[in-house]
């Protein structure tokens, strides 16, 4: 009888156990002073009038006006004159349309014209949220118990356009975060278009539910690997055909939209990581780069690189994409393929599982899915891993970043959406050899919005895009109501014990 009472008592403790969470007293708030310069197109008609006004100035007036602009803005941006040159070249056709010899213009007049085609954009003016965290490759010159990390954030500004920004910090032996000083400028990278594989482009077009017959016909004369400019030339020729139908126009637009999604980014090596911003670069992400889930991936041969999945949004539809980097200076960006690469919430495992890449997703917007692949960009055959089970996740369940390897199994931090669209953070544990087998799942949220966390851009939300383990603790960065960010610490042993006993 005594044994039965003890067992029953332990059982009741387990089913009612809340895992202790320590919220750290650090906040990452949006900063409206963080600005980047971008091209500003005021319409062809207005640009023609603007050019006309500038052409009426004599050279002395041009120099004086340009110097006034540089006094005001040169200290805010590196190499701003080169940006003015570039933006002037964007409207070279309009300048020549006025009968002006572009090459005859002085450098100062070109820069002045370009300055009127330039604007500042405040990256973080609305929100700094949905963080993820990875270990930095550089772990030198640290004391015992310290770890250098890189945080990524979704920064949102005017018009709800989102980009990716970074912070570098050190976690100490007490799991306190020491954030490095932020650089003075913000840098956009150089963009390079890549070579395209004709077969893969056709396959992706079919997945997008477009009739690819016309697309195949258009590309038949292109080599198996072709450049962006070659395809764009063919598309422009086809669009100039007066007899082209509306359906073919849509196919051409889809094709151009797709190939525009492949590119590489190069940041200057004299920029600090806090100064690098991955800003929307292609039409597919013109309205934002959303919820990047960064993970440090270790391949079977021991090589490592950083991957990140994110959602590209153009205001009408989304396109799941993948970023890869080995140094945070050079980034390759590409779309994901397959029926499993739809909707949002894709998160890559940090290593292969039984020789294959593994990915979590939420292709139906409600349930957590698992899928495997021989290619990191091709995802098919998704299988339901989790469905909403508890009241705080009845609307949907999804991941809060990549799974984390532990000796007890794959730790997956989840999010659940319940009544009043309240977002909470939960946790689950899966078999290390077969992640389709759930070992345990918290019945109650690990983290819920506190009273002081309920107000923001989107109320009643706590959300994360990635966590790590440090000093036998879960380090959990999270967003507060889609406005600001902070982080929490959870004892790993207590969390794993609660998960194993949750059934």
Residue-wise pLDDT for 295-332, tens only, equals 999 999 999 999 999 999 888 788 899 999 999 999 99
Encode pLDDT of 359-369 as tens digits.
999 999 999 99
What band does 258 get if pLDDT is binned at 50, 70 and 90? Answer: confident
Axis crossing angle, helix 246-259 with helix 198-207, rounded to the nearest 10: 120
Instruction: Flag the least confident range among 155-164, 240-249, 414-423, 482-491.
Output: 240-249
Q: What is the pTM of this model?
A: 0.89
Q: What is the pLDDT of residue 196?
A: 79
- Give the pLDDT of residue 213: 67
Closest to 38 in 3D by CA, of 167, 191, 152, 154: 191
The pLDDT score that the predictor gives to residue 440 is: 98
More confident residue, 193 or 100: 100
At 220 the pLDDT is 79
Under the banding of pLDDT at 50, 70 and 90, the label for residue 4 is: very low
> Looking at residue 262, what is its pLDDT?
84
DSSP string, 146-210: -EEEEEEEEEE-GGG-EEEEEEEEEE-TT--EEEPPPPSS-BPPEEE---EEHHHHHHHHHHTT-
Q: Which residues pair with 462 in a beta bridge?
A: 480
Least confident of 47-56, 194-203, 336-345: 194-203
Residue 242 or 57, more confident: 57
Predicted confidence at residue 260, as pLDDT, reads 76
- Between 314 and 54, name the one with better pLDDT: 54
DSSP conformation class of 375: S
pLDDT in tens, 107-165: 999 999 999 999 999 999 999 999 999 999 999 999 999 999 999 999 999 999 999 99
pLDDT in tens, 373-397: 999 999 999 999 999 999 999 999 9
**Which residue has better confidence, 17 or 61?**
61
pLDDT for residue 103 = 96
Considering the chain, what percentage of its residues have pLDDT values greater than 90? 75
DSSP state, residue 422: -
User: How far apart, in Å, are the Cα atoms of 246 and each of 239, 249, 251, 258, 325?
Assistant: 10, 5, 9, 18, 40
CB 465 within 8 A of CB 373: no
Q: How far is the CA of 341 from the CAs of 234, 444, 464, in angstroms? A: 28, 30, 20
pLDDT of residue 251: 74
Residues 431-477: tens digit of each pLDDT: 999 999 999 999 999 999 999 999 999 999 999 999 999 999 999 99
Task: Give the DSSP H or E segment for 220.
Answer: none
Whole-number average pLDDT of the chain: 91
For residue range 208-245, what is the model confidence (pLDDT) as tens digits?
654 556 776 777 788 888 887 788 888 888 888 777 77
Confidence of residue 12 (pLDDT cuts 50, 70, 90): very low
Look at residue 2 and tell me whether its pLDDT is greater than 50.
no
Phi/psi class of residue 436: alpha, beta or left (left: φ > 0; alpha: ψ in -120 to 50)? alpha
State both tokens at 135.
């270990």
Strands 225-226 and 288-298: unpaired
What is the band of 3 on the pLDDT scale with cuts at 50, 70, 90? very low
CB-based contact 184:326 (threshold 8 Å)? no
The mean per-residue pLDDT over the stretch 326-355 comes to 93
pLDDT of residue 319: 87
Query: Cα separation of 236 and 246, whole Å?
Result: 15
pLDDT at 6: 41
The pLDDT score that the predictor gives to residue 281 is: 85
Min mean pLDDT across 12-26, 199-213, 294-308, 334-348 is at 199-213
**Element counts in the chain: helices (H) and strands (E):** 11, 29
Cα–Cα distance between 38 and 53 in angstroms, integer? 22
Closest CA to 276 of 351, 174, 145, 168: 168
CA dist list (Å): 459 to 160, 212, 302, 479? 16, 43, 43, 11
């Amino acid at each position: 009888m005594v044994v039965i009472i003890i067992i029953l008592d332990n059982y009741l403790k387990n089913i009612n156990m809340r895992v202790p969470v320590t919220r750290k007293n650090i906040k990452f708030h949006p900063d409206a002073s963080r600005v980047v310069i971008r091209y500003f197109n005021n319409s062809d008609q207005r640009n023609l009038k603007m050019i006309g006004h500038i052409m009426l100035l004599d050279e002395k007036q041009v120099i004086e006006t340009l110097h006034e602009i540089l006094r005001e803005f040169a200290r805010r941006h590196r190499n701003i004159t080169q940006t003015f040159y570039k933006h002037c070249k964007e409207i070279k056709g309009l300048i020549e349309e006025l009968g002006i010899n572009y090459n005859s213009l002085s450098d100062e007049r070109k820069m002045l014209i370009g300055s009127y085609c330039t604007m500042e954009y405040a990256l973080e003016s609305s929100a700094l949220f949905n963080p993820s965290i990875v270990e930095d490759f550089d772990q030198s010159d640290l004391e015992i118990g310290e770890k250098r990390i890189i945080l990524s954030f979704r920064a949102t500004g005017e018009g709800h356009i989102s980009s990716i920004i970074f912070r570098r910090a050190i976690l100490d032996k007490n799991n306190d975060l020491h954030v490095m000083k932020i650089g003075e400028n913000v840098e956009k990278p150089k963009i390079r278009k890549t070579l395209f594989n004709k077969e893969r482009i056709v396959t992706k077009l079919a997945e997008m539910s477009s009739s690819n017959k016309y697309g195949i016909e258009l590309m038949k004369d292109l080599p198996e690997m072709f450049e962006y400019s070659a395809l764009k030339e063919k598309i422009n020729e086809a669009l100039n055909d007066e007899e082209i139908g509306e359906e073919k126009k849509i196919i051409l637009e889809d094709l151009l939209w797709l190939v525009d999604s492949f590119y590489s980014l190069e940041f200057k090596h004299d920029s600090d990581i806090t100064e690098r911003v991955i800003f929307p670069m292609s039409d597919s992400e013109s309205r934002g780069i959303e919820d990047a889930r960064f993970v440090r991936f270790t391949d079977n041969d021991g090589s490592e690189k950083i991957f990140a999945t994110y959602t590209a949004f153009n205001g009408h539809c989304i396109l799941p994409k993948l970023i890869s980097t080995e140094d945070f200076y050079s980034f390759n960006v590409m779309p994901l393929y397959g029926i499993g690469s739809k909707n949002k919430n894709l998160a890559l495992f940090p290593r292969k599982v039984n020789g294959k890449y593994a990915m979590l997703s939420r292709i139906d917007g409600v349930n957590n899915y698992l899928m495997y692949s021989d290619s990191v960009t091709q995802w098919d055959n998704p299988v339901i891993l989790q469905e909403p089970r508890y009241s705080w996740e009845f609307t949907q369940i999804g991941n809060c970043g990549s799974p984390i390897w532990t000796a007890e199994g794959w730790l997956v931090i989840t999010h659940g959406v319940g009544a009043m669209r309240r977002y909470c953070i939960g946790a689950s544990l899966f078999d290390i050899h077969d992640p389709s087998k759930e070992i345990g799942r918290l019945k109650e949220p690990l983290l819920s919005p506190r009273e002081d966390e309920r107000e923001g851009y989107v109320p009643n939300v706590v959300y994360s895009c990635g966590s790590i383990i440090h000093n036998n603790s879960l380090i959990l960065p999270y967003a507060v109501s889609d406005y600001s960010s902070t982080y929490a610490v959870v004892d790993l042993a207590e969390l794993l014990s609660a998960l194993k006993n949750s059934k």
